[in-house]
Structure 1
Amino acid sequence: MSTADKINDILVEALAPVRLDILNESHMHNVPPGSESHFKLVIVSREFDGRNLVARHRMVNKLLAEQLQNGIHALSMHTHTPEEWDARGGQVPDSPPCLGGKARENEQ
């Protein structure tokens, strides 16, 4: 089972999201082809009602603790209630280009 599939199963079970996007952004970084180390999550769930951003991220980090210790290098999270998601027009910002590793060395 892929890392993305594991993330999906964990978050669906725990958060019953009305929207869940799991974007593998590893290809945007200096990693081998086929890597699953950099992810962007868009999670819209009632479980976030009444919780601030830090609490939401802590909740997701706790749920994905094993994956974060075993292969995930970077995790970007966009956590919203359904009302917040609607107010945003269903949009999240694009991820910035990677400036780490070899890409950063080449810029200098």
Structure 2
Amino acid sequence: MSMTDTIRAKLTEKFSPLQLEVIDESESHYGHSGWREGGETHFRVRIATRNFDGMSRVAQHRAIMAALDDELKAKVHALAIEVLPV
């Protein structure tokens, strides 16, 4: 399973999003810190979910980071998060 698919599966399971995009932006970071051959190092997540109702932006981001803790420790170097309105 690709890292994109892993991220999508974990966020879907944890947050039941109404909308979810997982974008591998690794190639646009070629030569930058954390980039590795084969990519799957830099991602952007766009998510809309009712699970974030009443949470601060910081709490939303922390929840996503916690859900992807293993991936962030192992392979993902950078994660941009955009929480969309529901």
For the 8 Å contact 1:37–1:71, the answer to whether it is kept is yes
Deviation of 1:32 (Å): 4.6
SS of equivalent residue, structure 2 residue 81 = strand
Number of the residue aligned with 2:49? 45
Contact 1:18-1:44 within 8 A present in 2 as well: yes
Aligned length: 82
Q: Is 1:12–2:12 an aligned residue pair?
A: yes
Paired residues for 1:4-83 under 5 Å: 4-30=4-30, 31-32=35-36, 34-82=38-86
Counterpart CA distance in 2 for 1:35 and 1:3 is 10
State the one-letter code of the partner of 1:47. N
Cα offset for 1:79?
1.2
Q: Is the 8 A contact 1:48 1:81 kept in 2?
A: no
- Aligned-residue offset at 1:58: 0.3
| TM-score, scaled relative to structure 1 | 0.72
Superposition RMSD in Å = 1.1
Return 5+ residue gaps in structure 2 as ranges: none
Task: Give the structure-2-normalised TM-score.
Answer: 0.90
Secondary structure of 1:34's aligned partner: coil
Q: Structure 1: where are the runs of 5+ without partners?
A: 83-108
> Deviations for 1:6-44, whole angstroms, at most 9, x for unmatched residues?
101100011000100000000101235531000000000
Contact 1:23 1:39 in 2 (8 A): yes
